[in-house]
A and B are shown apart, each in its own frame.
Chain A
Amino acid sequence: MTEANTKPVSNKQPILRLSGITKTFGAVAALADIQLEVHEGEVVALVGDNGAGKSTLIKILAGVQQPTSGTIEFLGKNVEIANPSHALHMGIATVYQDLALCENLDVVANLFLGQEMSPWALDEVSMEVRAWQLLGELAARIPSVREPIASLSGGQRQTVAIARSILLDPKIVMLDEPTAALGVAQTAEVLNLVERLRDRGHGVILISHNMDNVRAVADKIVVLRLGRNNGTFQADAPHEQIISAIMGSTDNSVSRREATEKDRSQS
């Protein structure tokens, strides 16, 4: 994908484009008419208050749930994401908030879980080498890959989970609250990892409640509110604007702009 394309336009084509994604649970619309674009090497932060629909959107992209209506365009083609392994093999990897690691298995086993090399006589040497390479590419500091996950710290576990997500070289990596349970130093480590994912050319979707983290790494901030798009901001947008978009106070930039436009069209 790094090759210079004959059509320069396609470089600007997003890897992933969602349009009009709607998800209803009975009478409740968890998501309504969501638009989202993710480009190569771009970190898109998905922010919003509780119940804004972030998790539902992630689940739809991870193949856990299906949208009620709307289209998902991946690498220029309309796709349906039927189940988690479909999403994974298509090129959308997810790092869940609870990491989904097996504590009784070592780092190598967790990295390759479900993707083991040579299923009838596990190639432990090749897997261990690949594990060190993956961790090396993320400049991650794990002392030993032959220790069970139970012996690792929270940040190290997050590192393992992120390293696992790039095993199949996905186009998009989704991170659900990667820093929620971490201390200051470990949070910084994880933010470094996110930047390295971007530098490797992955599109990154980052969900976080922590605005400082979001502003530190995101190229674009997409705000959801009550299941709807409530504004898209550049990372250097004023803090108050983003906050008011999240909180939905009537006096925010979106509502002001809509008000002035309405005035203009009436006059």
Chain B
Amino acid sequence: MNGVTKEASFAYDRADARVRADEGLSGAFRSFIDRIKSGDLGVLPVVVGLLVISTVFATLNPVFLLPNNIVNLLFDASTVGFISLGIVMVLLLGEIDLSIGSMSGLASALIGVLWVNQGYPIPVAISAAVVTGALMGVLYSFLLNKFSMPSFISTLAGLLALLGCQLFILGPTGSINLPYDSFLVRFGQTLVMPSWLAHAAALVPGLMMTILGLRQMKARKAAKLSSPGMSVLLLKVVLITVLLEAAVMFLNLGRGVPWMFFVFVVCVALMQYALTRTKWGRSMFAVGGNAEAARRAGIEVKRIRMTAFMLGASLAALGGVFSAARLATASQQAGAGDVNLNAIAAAVIGGTSLFGGRGSAWTALLGVLVIQAISNGLTLLNLSSSLRYMITGAVLAIAVIVDSLARQSRASHGRA
């Protein structure tokens, strides 16, 4: 390559004369604009959507933006969030799990029966629920791997079967109340982080980004690769830290940051790490993008599918446990109605593709905030559930339209 002029500025990835060297703040900004223009929208639509929704509801009813309402919203969001995080794993493979709602309902019923009625300790009951989820995941992946049964059908069958199980184990009474003074219910309804701890926790992402960013920059420099530069890293760190601290301060004006939401965010971060920084995560995206190519590359496609379905159903079960804690009851209604579609809609609104191979764990967090904001705002307006369903449906449709428009644009700009 004769495009290299100065020995000092040599970098493997800048050697080609056709590549524009995007360095520093302006470079990062320029490539960001390029990405948006080509239809690689990332989280932008969700953030814009969230702002629009907040503005609309806040003007219609100022209660919406009160700190305690947002705290409530986060409590609610965590339960659906877990279910949504699970469905992201399945959607990444281009598969679907329609039984997540019933799975969460069965999990909450298991908590009620095993813990309250039979007197097992809470950890045993929670483990039983999660293991049940994992077993269902194994069953779905077995049906898919062995009999090529489309996950749409197998999980639709699962939806009915699990609902039946839930009704069966709840018995004729139909609902079991969980004791209000128990840890689980307090966790689901009232427990918040101490304010100093919440502030400290809000510093962690910025610190991690700085440490990892500096280390990566050093490694890239040592390996003669270009890196976006100090200024970009600093800007990101400052932005994230200020945003998080502001959010924590705002929530502390009310009851504080719910522990349940904190646990959810930590789980999302862990899943994001697993998806982007491990071989397993890379294999997930490969199977979702081109299963045959993944198979020929030596990836055990069947095993990857099994892990995805297992994670999906287990996280749905965990979401069911938390929603039982949130409602302090295990009832026949748990997991019924719109839970299923809300969780799937959250993942799609967040930006996970229904066709596999595109998405991230963060989409569950962002999407569930949108879904919960809508449902919370509409409840504050005293609208009936009939209207709520219609409006949530419309938002889902809009999200899918934005997704497919962005996909067409990406295709014409030569991006996956």
CB of A125 within 8 Å of the partner chain:
yes
Q: Which of B286-319 contact A (CB under 8 A)?
A: 286, 288-290, 292-299
Are B223 and A104 neighbours in the complex by a CB distance under 8 Å?
Answer: no
User: Known contacts A122-B279, A145-B13; is A102 also within 8 Å of B298 by CB?
Assistant: no
Within A116-150, the residues touching B (CB, 8 Å) are 116, 119-122, 125-126, 128-129, 132, 141-150
Main secondary structure of the interface of B (DSSP, over half): helix
Q: Contact at B282–A101, with CB atoms within 8 Å?
A: no
User: Are A105 and B289 CB-contacts (below 8 A) given A113-B294, A122-B282, A125-B225?
Assistant: yes
Known contacts being A125-B220, A129-B224, is A105 close to B299, with CB within 8 Å? no
Counting chain A CB atoms within 10 Å of each CB, the highest count among B277, B280, B286, B290 belongs to: B290
Could you tell me which residues of chain A, from 100 to 116, have a CB within 8 Å of some CB in chain B?
100-105, 109, 113-116
Complex Cα spacing A125 to B285, Å = 20
B19 at the interface (CB under 8 A from A): yes
Type the 1/0 row for A132-176, where 1 means its CB is closer than 8 Å to any CB of B.
Answer: 100000000111111111111000000000000000000000000
B353 to A: closest C-beta gap in Å: 9
What are the residues of chain B within 8 A of A101 when measuring CB–CB?
290, 293
Which residues of B sit under 8 angstroms from A102, Cβ to Cβ?
285-286, 289-290, 293-294, 357
Could you count the A-B residue pairs with CB atoms below 8 Å apart for me: how many are there?
A: 106
Q: Which residues of B contact A99 (CB under 8 A)?
A: 293
A151 to B411, CA, bound (A): 9
Report the count of interface residues on B (CB-CB < 8 A).
38
Q: Is the CB of B279 within 8 A of A119?
A: yes
Q: Per DSSP, are chain A's interface residues mostly helix, strand or loop, or mixed? A: loop
Q: Shortest Cβ distance from A87 into chain B, in angstroms?
A: 10
**B237-278 toward A: CB 8 Å interface, digit per residue (1/0)?**
000000000000000000000000000000000000000011
Interface size class of A (residues with CB under 8 A): 35 or more
B278: min CB distance to chain A, Å: 6
A121 with B277, Cβ < 8 A, contacts A129-B224, A145-B13 known: yes
Across the interface, do B294 and A143 meet the contact criterion of CB distance under 8 Å? no
Q: Is the CB of B288 within 8 A of A104?
A: yes
Q: Which residue of B lies closest to A147 (CB)?
A: B415
- Contact between chains at A122 and B292 (CB < 8 Å): no
Whether A128 pairs with B223 at a CB distance below 8 angstroms is yes
B293/A150 in contact, CB under 8 A = no
List A contacts of B293 (CB < 8 A): 99-102, 113
Q: Does A43 contact B (CB under 8 A)?
A: no
Within the complex, the shortest CB–CB distance from A226 to chain B, in Å, comes to: 28
Q: Is the CB of B415 within 8 A of A105?
A: no
Is the Cβ of A126 less than 8 Å from the Cβ of B277?
A: no
Other-chain contact of A151, B19, B299, B414 (Cβ < 8 Å) = B414
Cβ-neighbour of B225 out of A85, A105, A128 (below 8 A): A128
Whether A105 lies near B286 (C-beta < 8 A) is yes
Known: A104-B416, A150-B415, A152-B414. 7 other contacts (CB 8 A): A84-B295, A99-B293, A100-B297, A109-B286, A122-B282, A148-B415, A151-B414
